[in-house]
Amino acid sequence: SIHTYNCFLFLSVFVPAAQPITSKLDAGWWAYKDVVQGTFVPVPSFWGLVHSAWNLCAIGKRQSPIDIETSHMIFDPYLTPLRLNTGGRKMGGTMYNTGRHVSLRPDKAHLVNISGGPLGYSYRLEEVRLHFGSEDSQGSEHLLNGQGFPGEVQLIHYNQDLYANYTEAAKSPNGIAVVSIFIKLSENSNAFLNRMLNRDTITRINYKHDAFLLMGLNIADLYPDTTRYITYEGSITIPPCYETSTWILINKPVYVTQMQMHSLRLLSQNEPYKIFLSMSDNTRPTQPLLQRCIRTNINFSKQGRDCPNNRALRPQYRVAQWRMKSKKFYISA
Ligand SMILES: *[C@@H]1O[C@H](CO)[C@@H](O)[C@H](O)[C@H]1NC(C)=O
Ligand SMILES: *[C@@H]1O[C@H](CO)[C@@H](O)[C@H](O)[C@H]1NC(C)=O
Ligand SMILES: *[C@@H]1O[C@H](CO)[C@@H](O)[C@H](O)[C@H]1NC(C)=O
């Protein structure tokens, strides 16, 4: 197949010379899936092989995303609620089609930060990023007991106590905190996502590099009504896969409509003069958990028991065991 041929070509030509960063091996040279026939662009399984600065993508031991197995979660009573600080003000931001994600960047005048929970520092919001699938059964980067969701919102923050900006923080210890919220489908959509995904707005960023300014956003609207979350130490999910991220997965989803999901799938990875390639399935596959702990402030422990494999848990995302085969979920709340 063309895919195999390309990989062969790539392995024989690029790997022996992988150390120097040639013009072809620039920071933007990666993809989620095979794109154009006849050219090789590294997909996730190759990210760590094409560029020595990206080798964590291949050999890292604290990579993200992961499959959250709820039976492996550990209840940590010292995990306090996350604190969101907007200064009580609404924010403006620019929404972009980056060719890979829908990305909203708050303007510099509006500081939004989070602290508390598992975080020892204050982290400033840098970007809101959307991942989504071509089908409703996939699209989230994290999985829950092996199951995907139609999408995942990631609020990416950097440690503003220690670092001057996102670029510096991303490669430094305790640099990044990502709040992650699964997206599900419903009749009504989340108020914040509705601002981004209503037809008049989302169609402004159909093509790569399109941008659209939004005002009067309240980031608090994006957060589901819960203080419960799951947290673990991992990496950023795009090259160079730096292992500097604390992940905080909120224990309730946000909702978008089927129509809004459809609009997302109609976004192109390409400029208007190039072939249409849907942006959907912009997800990195899950990575091994290895020695890491998944902690939660969901108190699922029966009194006097602290076994990490306690199965008597009550997360909001509850997998009905008898439905596992049909890949269905229900939310207990
Ligand atoms: C966090 O955000 C609030 C509101 O914008 C601001 O007042 C506060 O100074 C910020 N904290 C830090 C450490 O920058
Ligand atoms: C980020 O901060 C570092 C250190 O202060 C600085 O050298 C660099 O130019 C900054 N980068 C950006 C993109 O602002
Ligand atoms: C966790 O739940 C158990 C059983 O309901 C309760 O006895 C215990 O006090 C709770 N622990 C915390 C820290 O809330």
Atom nearest to 110 CA in ligand 1 = 5
Lowest mean pLDDT among 140-154, 196-210, 287-301: 287-301
Catalytic residues: 163
Query: What separation in Å is there between the alpha carbon of 144 and the centre of ligand 3?
Result: 24
In Å, how far are 45, 48, 226 from 2, measured between CA atoms?
17, 21, 48
Cα separation of 106 and 216, whole Å? 11
Half-sphere exposure of 238 (CA within 13 A, CB side): 16
Q: pLDDT tens-digit profile of 63-75? A: 999 999 998 899 9
Instruction: Assess whether pLDDT exceeds 50 at residue 173.
Output: yes
Q: What pLDDT score was predicted for residue 301?
A: 59
Atom nearest to 166 CA in ligand 2 = 1
Q: Which two tokens stand for residue 327?
A: 């890949």
Q: In the predicted model, what is the mean pLDDT of residues 203-217? A: 97
Q: Which two tokens stand for residue 56?
A: 């964590």
Instruction: Assess whether pLDDT exceeds 60 at residue 325.
Output: no
Task: Tell me, rounded to whole angstroms, the distance of Cα 133 from its chain centroid.
Answer: 12
Q: What pLDDT score was predicted for residue 8?
A: 36
Query: What separation in Å is there between the alpha carbon of 113 and the centre of ligand 2?
Result: 19
Total H helices, total E strands in the chain: 7, 17
Q: Is the CB of 301 under 6 A from ligand 3?
A: yes
Q: In the predicted model, what is the mean pLDDT of residues 125-132? A: 98
Query: What separation in Å is there between the alpha carbon of 162 and the centre of ligand 2?
Result: 13
Q: Is the CB of 113 under 6 A from ligand 1?
A: yes
Q: Is the CB of 115 under 6 A from ligand 1?
A: no
Percent of the chain with pLDDT over 70: 81
**Residue ranges lining ligand 2, Cβ < 6 Å:** 164-165, 167-168
Lowest mean pLDDT among 46-50, 85-89, 154-158, 311-315: 311-315
Instruction: Assess whether pLDDT exceeds 60 at residue 42.
Output: yes
Lowest mean pLDDT among 31-45, 198-212, 260-274, 310-324: 310-324
Nearest CA owner, ligand 2 atom 10: 165
Instruction: Assess whether pLDDT exceeds 80 at residue 305.
Output: no
Q: What pLDDT score was predicted for residue 318?
A: 45
Contacts 24+ apart (CB under 8 A), 265-270: 265/132, 265/134, 266/206, 267/97, 267/102, 267/202, 267/205, 267/206, 267/207, 268/97, 268/206, 268/207, 268/208, 269/35, 269/99, 269/100, 269/208, 270/99, 270/207, 270/208
Q: In the predicted model, what is the mean pLDDT of residues 247-259? A: 98
Q: What pLDDT score was predicted for residue 38?
A: 66
Measured from the alpha carbon of residue 80, the closest ligand is 3
- Return the domain boundaries, the chain: 2-59, 67-265
Cα separation of 84 and 218, whole Å? 11
Query: What separation in Å is there between the alpha carbon of 238 and the centre of ligand 3?
Result: 38
Which regions of 87-175 does DSSP assign to beta strands (E)? 91-97, 102-106, 113-116, 119-132, 143-144, 151-159
Q: Contact at 8 Å (CB) between 76 and 170?
A: no
Architecture field, domain 67-265 = Roll (3.10)
Q: What pLDDT score was predicted for residue 26?
A: 66
